[in-house]
């Protein structure tokens, strides 16, 4: 029994282009220009889904973004889209759509049994029921209840679509292409401004598309043609303005055609914004107003005039305002029998006359008492004096119109109630924002066009004279008259009178909320869940809060509204992420030697944004195997390691030495040229910020290094000091992290290796002592060698410009091949320094002071340095603060672990302990696990037995506190 | 002589419609720093402000902040001010063609309209969370100076943004 | 949000690094006064409304500057170099 049919009347569908699509496994036909909904209606499908909680049969209610019922799942696998709004989905060849929330089928849904349990499933039921018999019982009920409710199902597949982001700018953004929006766009375009017109539909024209007027259609086409010819106008169909943010940022969601991306998110900065977003029709609230076949009156008009789809025989229209008569008259003119149930007692003479002409019967002072039929309505029973039952195919309802004020709400402006049109209009507009047309409560077509034109002129006050606007040759606007009826249900069947269709919220629920004390709008919303569905209450909000205001005896203007937030319509998360997915989420930072490491068996590890060579396959297949071999190579022979990621900063100027002297705790003013010095810097609060080695290249030029992790922080810190406070210092700082690459050549044979590589250069102990710096040119490239050691062995750092680092590295490897030199990675690099007792990133965690790290003696007593004052505050000097110690494992076979919590041997293993392990390694020298740690009281406890507790693996390992310098305490190897 | 290795040695080449994206290597970049007076003395003529490049004495000058100027070309003998060689620190990528501006619009929130960003203008901005300098060198031709260590990531971001124009 | 860099003009906030409250006066280097440094570093207001603060244009010119931003509305009322 089909309630609709397609007729021959010309409209916006293209009958020469037929499309086939699938719904619930069956094939159907439609046309280019159809939506999924109009094509389904034309094919007689009115039952399209089952409601959220009660599994009531549901069909299409509207013809646009306000649709709350007809949500379908389209696509498959990685391109499945649940909750597709069928009334806005453009019909395309090959679409497969499935109904949702019904099992085993739409027609025979077993879960409809929920309806019988509706007394239990009222609003807020989960606060009042399903709580026993045990405390945790809800956890048992919840999965079952969740399965029984819902709309579309998400799929576990990865979203296989591509999404893109872009950033654009314009002078005027116009949102909505109905009469007001088109007029605004044309006027703005004529001024030469950069204009963007966005329209969520796949056709421009807004309400004009539903008008059926030839003259309006001509006018619409003329405006579009003019806009298409204007070079500075961007016309964006299939584009929704999802939100307006600070400083006129509009976020648009586009569905492009013929583009590799499925959706494009555009961040558009507009100098001015004109909102011509129109208005959305309200339903009326009466028993069984959710049955398939009960629709918004304006939607019936759209299906007729835009898609050539009409009710088969008879339509009943129920209304409280004049606008529904446009539907009534248009249907009647297309051979549909129409009857009107009119809530009001009087009507304008013009409307009565026209109705009479068309043979339309009107019942005044009358609404709908009930709707007959379940899976498809087949009749209505009128309320009021005329207790008549009328057989019909559809019921069109109109409770009035609500301006789409959402975008003004995004900016925090609360809507205000307008008695005359019984609706909420924007409470105001921010500076540089304007509204035109139905959004303002201006429902007349010509008035809307005039407002659009005026808004554009107001938005561009400095434009030269703009040509006068052409109005369409149509009759002057009719006045809009309405009598608000918020609750038209009879008391006896309020529990079947739906206010929010998508979340199954009825009048009974609203009264229940009021009774239980949830009467503020914010509580009403969250307690009943009305307005919280994918439609965000587009057809329910106003009716509901008006009902609550009535219950509370408040005028609507005082009832308050909830806040609309972006996005305006559902948006796929992928579109927000755009290309920031997977490996593209963060940029990768690569050393100049990266390609060499790849080609020579390196496994990489992430260190912040850097990809660093972790270990090499010559040393082993796993990191545990490899790092030990690499460590042994360095301790016994010579290895080469990539240290290019270190922060390197160029510090130059006549005051450079003074500057460094102020920021480091130790002295730098008298550092000789050709020498390097280890330095530690504190923050203003007296806590360690970073450490590094700074070399003096000339009197006024220094080469500073920082840790990899803190390079950016330190750079910004130095710039801050020089630019905001010490502006009198003549110093310039520039990052050289990318300009220079660096390699550490370490081990007892490192000098020999460099001598083989650079036979012309004097690298003897005298020419290049410990902490010395030399520079020379090698094959046209500047090379800087610093005798520094991170590992504790005789070692050098060789730096040169990044473009030549690979060539120089390869040269050293080749020249020193006969020694057995090989590369070693980050794991070994870190392990070597732990054995030596050098602090590094893991120990410098921005809570530790100089004294905590055992470096207190470094600080100059008589010189000023940043952090000196607060370094001595009480908390930083507390005697039981933790400080750096070494740890030796006393249990053979047991591992020490980073993060292990330390206890004295006599402590109960409970609570916070006395410290923790910061870095661990296997010591190839001592043949056991060692660690650096922070321990309350530090080296006062040297020699004591402790326990390293690691609760995650249930391990308690016996260990002992020792000096953090495990090898070469006298530094003999360093000074070799 | 030691061989130079590009940061984009392993980058996948790009072929496009109305779009060319390639490395534009072989440039010398030196940064000069000092007061207005010192910079003028060292370079002769300097850009009056940031965001507009200056061609002078067969060198291109980009004033990246009030006291620092990038000079692309032969270094200058400048005792008056502080100089820092930076030729290795940046990788230069050329993006040119009628579709170039559309690609840039996906990379950074800058207005790349031909009237707003024309020849001899430049901006310092972020591309894929890394600092980059974009210099308009022709009607639809642009040089991107990406940080060398991020060059491959930037290359991938730029060529990915250009996917809709790939041949 | 857009931040007006005094050198580069208005740019997207993602190009900047926020530097905290700028209303305290930095004591002179080496003043030796613990209380003075303590108050400078740790004592400052957290207003709902106009707020003087530091910003650095890290992805642009790398210059630091101060501006006055309304913490409730994000309205930016002028800046200083």
pLDDT tens digits, A428-476: 999 999 999 999 999 999 999 999 999 999 999 988 788 888 899 998 8
Asked if CATH classification 3.90.228.20 holds for the domain at B20-26+88-165, the reply, yes or no, is no
Contacts of C9 in chain A (CB under 8 A): none
Residue C19 lies in domain: 2-80
Contacts of B164 in chain A (CB under 8 A): 259-261
Residue A804 contacts B, CB cutoff 8 Å: yes
**Min CA distance, C2 vs chain B (Å)?**
10
Q: Which CATH architecture has domain A590-644+739-832?
A: 2-Layer Sandwich (3.30)
Class of domain A4-117: alpha beta
Contacts of C42 in chain A (CB under 8 A): 685
Contact state of C1 with A247 under an 8 Å Cβ cutoff: yes
User: What average pLDDT does this structure show over A40-51?
Assistant: 93
Query: Among C2, C3, C7, C81, which would you mutate to test the B interface (most chain B Cβ atoms within 10 Å of its Cβ)?
Result: C7
pLDDT score of A1: 56
Contact state of C61 with B64 under an 8 Å Cβ cutoff: yes
Write out the H or E segment, with its range, that includes residue A144.
Answer: helix A138-148
A798/A812 Cα distance (integer angstroms): 10
> Distance between terminal CA atoms of chain B?
38
| A145 has a pLDDT exceeding 80 | no
**How crowded is residue B121: how many other Cβ atoms within 10 Å of its Cβ?**
14
User: What average pLDDT does this structure show over A557-565?
Assistant: 87
**Min CA distance, A217 vs chain B (Å)?**
34
| CB contact set of C53 (below 8 Å; sequence gap of 6+) | C18, C19, C20, C21, C22, C66, C67, C68, C69
Query: Among B5, B12, B79, B160, which would you mutate to test the A interface (most chain A Cβ atoms within 10 Å of its Cβ)?
Result: B5
Residue C11's CATH number: 3.30.2270.10
Query: Among B88, B104, B162, which would you mutate to test the A interface (most chain A Cβ atoms within 10 Å of its Cβ)?
Result: B88
Contacts of A866 in chain C (CB under 8 A): 29
Cβ–Cβ < 8 Å for A547, A487 = yes
How large a percentage of chain A has pLDDT more than 70? 99
pLDDT score of A291: 97
Contact state of A652 with B85 under an 8 Å Cβ cutoff: no
Contacts of A712 in chain C (CB under 8 A): 58
**How crowded is residue A650: how many other Cβ atoms within 10 Å of its Cβ?**
24
pLDDT score of A387: 81
pLDDT score of B165: 97
For residue C3, the chain A residue with the least C-alpha distance is A247
Residue C74 contacts A, CB cutoff 8 Å: yes
| A219 has a pLDDT exceeding 70 | yes
Q: Strand A701-706 vs strand A688-698: parallel, antiparallel, or unpaired?
A: antiparallel
**Min CA distance, A430 vs chain C (Å)?**
12
pLDDT score of A231: 94
Q: Buried b vs exposed e over B5-22: b needs ≥16 C-beta within 10 Å?
A: bbbbeebeebebeebebb
Question: Using CB atoms and an 8 Å cut-off, which of residues 19-78 of chain B contact chain A?
Answer: 31, 33-34, 67-68
Question: Using CB atoms and an 8 Å cut-off, which of residues 699-758 of chain A contact chain B?
Answer: 700, 732, 734-740
Query: Among B82, B87, B167, which would you mutate to test the A interface (most chain A Cβ atoms within 10 Å of its Cβ)?
Result: B82
Contacts of C9 in chain B (CB under 8 A): 51
Q: Give residue-wise pLDDT tens across range A389-428.
A: 999 999 999 999 999 999 999 988 999 999 999 999 999 9
A672/A38 Cα distance (integer angstroms): 85
pLDDT score of A230: 96
**Min CA distance, C32 vs chain B (Å)?**
32
Strand order across the A773-778 sheet: A773-778, A781-786, A795-801, A740-746, A639-642, A822-823
pLDDT score of A148: 64
pLDDT score of A974: 85
pLDDT score of C81: 56
**Min CA distance, C58 vs chain B (Å)?**
8
Question: Using CB atoms and an 8 Å cut-off, which of residues 205-264 of chain A contact chain B?
Answer: 259-261
pLDDT score of A216: 97
Q: Give residue-wise pLDDT tens across range A853-911.
A: 989 999 999 999 999 999 999 999 888 899 999 999 999 989 999 999 999 999 999 99
List of chain B residues with pLDDT < 50: none
Out of A246, A724, A872, name the one closest to residue C54 (CB): A724
ipTM higher than the 0.90 cut: yes
Contacts of B123 in chain C (CB under 8 A): 8, 60
Q: Whose CA is closest to A44, among A66, A64, A65, A60?
A: A60
pLDDT score of A124: 76
C4/C11 Cα distance (integer angstroms): 6
Name the average pLDDT for chain A.
Answer: 94
Alpha-carbon distances of B59 from B44, B81, B147, C9, rounded to whole Å: 11, 17, 21, 26
For residue C28, the chain A residue with the least C-alpha distance is A725
Q: Backbone phi, then psi, for A947, in 5-degree steps?
A: -120, 135
User: What average pLDDT does this structure show over A811-837?
Assistant: 95
Q: Please give the CATH superfamily to which domain A874-976 belongs.
A: Aminomethyltransferase beta-barrel domains (2.40.30.110)
> Could you give the number of structural domains in chain C?
1
Q: Which chains touch C (3 or more CB pairs under 8 A)?
A: A, B
A370/A87 Cα distance (integer angstroms): 26
pLDDT score of A149: 66
CATH 3.30.1360.120 in chain B is located at 20-26+88-165
pLDDT score of A139: 77
Q: Backbone phi, then psi, for A169, in 5-degree steps?
A: -140, 150
User: A647-735: what fold?
Assistant: Alpha-Beta Plaits (3.30.70)
Q: Domain spans of chain A?
A: 4-117, 163-280+403-459, 590-644+739-832, 647-735, 874-976
Contact state of C29 with A872 under an 8 Å Cβ cutoff: no
Out of C9, C15, C61, name the one closest to residue B65 (CB): C61
Torsion of CA B151, B154, B155, B160, to 10 degrees: 160
Contacts of C32 in chain A (CB under 8 A): 864, 868-869
Question: Using CB atoms and an 8 Å cut-off, which of residues 22-61 of chain C contact chain A?
Answer: 26, 29-34, 36-38, 40-42, 54, 56, 58
pLDDT score of C80: 60
Query: Among A252, A651, A728, A803, which would you mutate to test the B interface (most chain B Cβ atoms within 10 Å of its Cβ)?
Result: A803
For residue A722, the chain C residue with the least C-alpha distance is C64
Contact state of C7 with B109 under an 8 Å Cβ cutoff: no
For residue C60, the chain B residue with the least C-alpha distance is B124
Q: Backbone phi, then psi, for B82, in 5-degree steps?
A: -85, 130
Q: Give residue-wise pLDDT tens across range A160-210.
A: 899 999 999 999 999 999 999 999 999 999 999 999 999 999 999 999 999
Name the average pLDDT for chain B.
Answer: 96
With bands split at pLDDT 50, 70 and 90, how would you rate the model's confidence at A845? confident
Q: Buried b vs exposed e over A921-947: b needs ≥16 C-beta within 10 Å?
A: bbbbeeebbbbbbbbbbbbebeebebb
Out of B65, B109, B125, name the one closest to residue C7 (CB): B65
| A135 has a pLDDT exceeding 90 | no
**How crowded is residue A617: how many other Cβ atoms within 10 Å of its Cβ?**
11
pLDDT score of B10: 94
Cβ–Cβ < 8 Å for A725, A915 = no
Burial class (CB in 10 A: 0-12, 13-18, 19+), A294: buried
Contacts of B64 in chain A (CB under 8 A): none
**Min CA distance, A742 vs chain B (Å)?**
13
**How crowded is residue A380: how many other Cβ atoms within 10 Å of its Cβ?**
29
How many CB pairs (< 8 A) connect B and C?
A: 33
Contact state of B109 with C62 under an 8 Å Cβ cutoff: no
User: A163-280+403-459: what fold?
Assistant: FAD/NAD(P)-binding domain (3.50.50)
Out of B110, B111, B128, name the one closest to residue A587 (CB): B128
**Min CA distance, B131 vs chain A (Å)?**
11
Contacts of C11 in chain B (CB under 8 A): 109-110, 125
With bands split at pLDDT 50, 70 and 90, how would you rate the model's confidence at A840? confident
Cβ–Cβ < 8 Å for A687, A846 = yes
């Amino acid at each position: 029994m089909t309630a609709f049919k397609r007729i021959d009347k010309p409209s916006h569908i293209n009958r020469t282009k037929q499309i086939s699509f699938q719904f619930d496994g069956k094939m159907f036909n439609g046309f280019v220009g159809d939506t999924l909904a109009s094509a389904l209606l034309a094919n007689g499908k009115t039952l399209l889904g089952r409601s959220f909680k009660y599994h009531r049969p549901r069909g299409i209610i509207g013809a646009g973004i306000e649709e709350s019922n007809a949500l379908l799942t389209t696509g498959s696998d990685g391109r499945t889209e649940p909750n597709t709004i069928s009334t806005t989905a453009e019909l395309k060849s090959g679409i497969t759509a499935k109904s949702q929330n019904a099992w085993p089928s739409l027609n025979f849904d077993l879960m409809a049994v929920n309806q019988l349990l509706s007394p239990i499933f009222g609003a807020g039921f989960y606060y009042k029921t399903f709580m026993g018999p045990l405390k945790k019982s809800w956890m048992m009920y919840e999965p079952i209840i969740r399965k029984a409710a819902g709309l579309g199902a998400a799929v576990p597949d990865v979203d296989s679509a591509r999404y893109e982001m872009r950033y654009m700018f314009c002078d005027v953004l116009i949102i909505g292409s109905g009469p007001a929006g088109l007029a605004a766009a044309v006027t703005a375009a004529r001024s030469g401004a950069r204009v963007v017109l966005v329209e969520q539909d796949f056709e421009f024209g807004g309400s004009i598309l539903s008008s059926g007027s030839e003259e309006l259609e001509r006018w619409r086409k003329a405006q579009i043609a003019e806009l298409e010819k204007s070079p500075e106008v961007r016309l964006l169909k299939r584009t929704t303005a999802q939100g307006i943010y600070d400083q006129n940022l509009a976020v648009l969601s586009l569905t492009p055609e013929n583009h590799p991306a499925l959706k494009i998110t555009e961040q558009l900065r507009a100098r001015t914004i004109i909102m011509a977003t129109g208005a959305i029709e309200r339903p009326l609230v009466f028993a069984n107003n959710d049955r398939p076949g009960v629709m918004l009156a304006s939607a019936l008009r759209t299906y007729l005039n835009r898609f050539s789809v009409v009710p088969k025989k008879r339509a009943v229209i129920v209304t409280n305002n004049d606008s529904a008569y446009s539907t009534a008259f248009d249907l009647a003119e297309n051979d549909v029998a129409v009857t009107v149930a009119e809530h009001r007692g009087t009507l304008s003479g013009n409307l009565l006359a026209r109705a009479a002409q068309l043979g339309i019967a009107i019942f005044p002072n009358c609404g709908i008492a009930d709707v007959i039929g379940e899976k498809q309505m087949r009749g209505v029973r009128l309320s009021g004096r005329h207790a008549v039952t009328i057989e019909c195919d559809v019921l069109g309802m109109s409770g009035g119109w609500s301006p789409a004020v959402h975008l003004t709400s995004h900016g925090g402006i609360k809507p205000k109630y307008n008695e005359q049109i019984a609706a909420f209009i924007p409470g105001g507009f921010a500076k540089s924002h304007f509204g035109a047309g139905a959004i303002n409560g201006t429902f007349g077509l010509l008035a809307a066009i005039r407002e659009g034109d005026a808004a554009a002129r107001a938005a561009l006050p400095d434009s030269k004279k703009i040509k006068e606007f052409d109005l369409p040759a149509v009759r002057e606007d009719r006045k809009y008259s309405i009598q608000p009826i918020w609750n038209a249900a009879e008391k006896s069947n309020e529990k079947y009178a739906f206010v929010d269709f998508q979340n199954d919220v009825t009048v009974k629920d609203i009264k229940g909320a009021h009774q239980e004390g949830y009467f503020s709008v914010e509580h009403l919303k969250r307690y009943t869940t009305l307005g919280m569905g994918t439609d965000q209450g587009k057809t329910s909000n106003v009716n509901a809060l008006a009902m609550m205001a009535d219950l509370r005896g408040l005028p609507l203007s005082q009832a308050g509204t909830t806040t609309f937030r972006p996005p305006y319509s559902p948006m796929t998360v992928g579109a927000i992420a755009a290309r920031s997915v997977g490996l593209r989420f963060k940029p990768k930072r690569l050393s100049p030697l990266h390609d060499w490491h790849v080609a020579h068996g390196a496994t990489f590890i992430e260190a912040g944004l850097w990809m660093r060579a972790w270990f090499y396959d010559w040393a082993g297949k796993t990191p545990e195997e490899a790092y030990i071999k690499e460590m042994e190579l360095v301790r016994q022979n010579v290895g080469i390691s990539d240290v290019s990621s270190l922060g390197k900063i160029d510090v130059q100027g006549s005051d450079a030495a003074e500057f460094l002297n102020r920021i480091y705790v130790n002295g730098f003013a008298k550092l000789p040229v050709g020498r390097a010095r280890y330095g530690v810097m504190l923050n203003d609060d007296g806590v360690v910020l970073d450490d590094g080695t700074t070399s003096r290249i000339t009197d006024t030029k220094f080469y500073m290094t920082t840790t990899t992790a803190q390079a950016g922080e330190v750079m910004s810190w130095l710039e801050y000091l020089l630019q905001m406070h010490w502006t009198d210092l003549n110093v310039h700082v520039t990052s050289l992290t990318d300009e220079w690459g660096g390699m550490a050549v370490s081990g007892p044979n490192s000098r020999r290796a460099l001598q083989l590589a650079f036979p012309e250069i004097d690298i003897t102990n005298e020419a290049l002592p410990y902490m010395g710096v030399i520079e020379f040119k090698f094959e046209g490239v500047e090379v800087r060698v610093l005798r520094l050691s991170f590992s504790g062995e005789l070692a050098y750092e060789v730096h040169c410009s990044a473009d030549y680092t690979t060539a120089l590295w390869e040269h050293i490897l080749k020249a020193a091949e006969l020694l057995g030199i090989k590369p070693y990675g980050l794991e070994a690099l870190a392990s070597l320094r732990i054995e030596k007792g050098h602090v590094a990133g893991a120990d410098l965690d921005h809570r530790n002071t100089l004294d905590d790290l055992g470096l207190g003696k470094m600080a100059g007593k008589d010189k000023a340095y940043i952090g000196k004052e607060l370094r001595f505050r009480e908390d930083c000097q507390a005697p039981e603060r933790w400080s750096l110690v070494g740890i030796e494992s006393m249990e053979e076979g047991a591992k020490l672990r980073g993060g292990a919590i330390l206890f004295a041997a006599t402590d109960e293993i409970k609570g916070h302990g006395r410290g923790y392990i910061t870095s661990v390694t296997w010591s190839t020298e001592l043949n056991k696990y060692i660690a650096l740690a922070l321990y309350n009281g530090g080296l006062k406890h040297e020699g004591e037995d402790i326990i390293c507790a690691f609760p995650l693996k249930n391990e308690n390992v016996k260990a002992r506190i020792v000096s953090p310098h495990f090898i070469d305490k006298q530094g003999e190897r360093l000074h070799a | 002589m030691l061989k130079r290795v590009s940061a984009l040695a392993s980058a996948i080449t790009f072929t496009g419609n109305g779009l060319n994206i390639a490395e534009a290597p072989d440039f010398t970049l030196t940064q000069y720093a000092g007061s207005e007076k010192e910079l003028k003395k060292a370079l002769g003529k300097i850009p009056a402000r940031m965001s507009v490049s200056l061609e002078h004495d067969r060198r291109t000058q980009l004033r990246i902040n009030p006291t620092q100027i990038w000079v692309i070309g032969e270094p200058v003998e400048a005792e008056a001010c502080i100089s820092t060689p930076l030729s290795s620190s940046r990788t230069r990528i050329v993006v040119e063609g009628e579709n170039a501006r559309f690609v840039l619009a996906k990379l950074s929130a800058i207005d790349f309209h031909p009237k707003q960003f024309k020849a001899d203008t430049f901006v310092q901005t972020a591309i894929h969370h890394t600092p980059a300098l974009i210099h308009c060198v022709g009607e639809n031709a642009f040089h991107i100076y990406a940080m060398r260590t991020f060059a491959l990531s930037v290359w991938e971001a730029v060529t990915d943004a250009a996917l809709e124009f790939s041949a | 949000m857009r931040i007006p860099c005094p050198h580069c003009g208005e740019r997207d906030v993602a190009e900047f690094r926020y530097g905290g409250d700028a209303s305290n006066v930095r004591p002179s280097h080496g003043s030796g006064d613990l209380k003075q440094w303590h108050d400078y570093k740790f004592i400052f207001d957290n207003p709902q409304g106009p707020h003087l603060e530091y910003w650095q244009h890290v992805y642009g010119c790398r210059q630091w500057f101060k501006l006055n931003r309304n913490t409730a509305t994000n309205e930016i009322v002028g800046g200083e170099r």
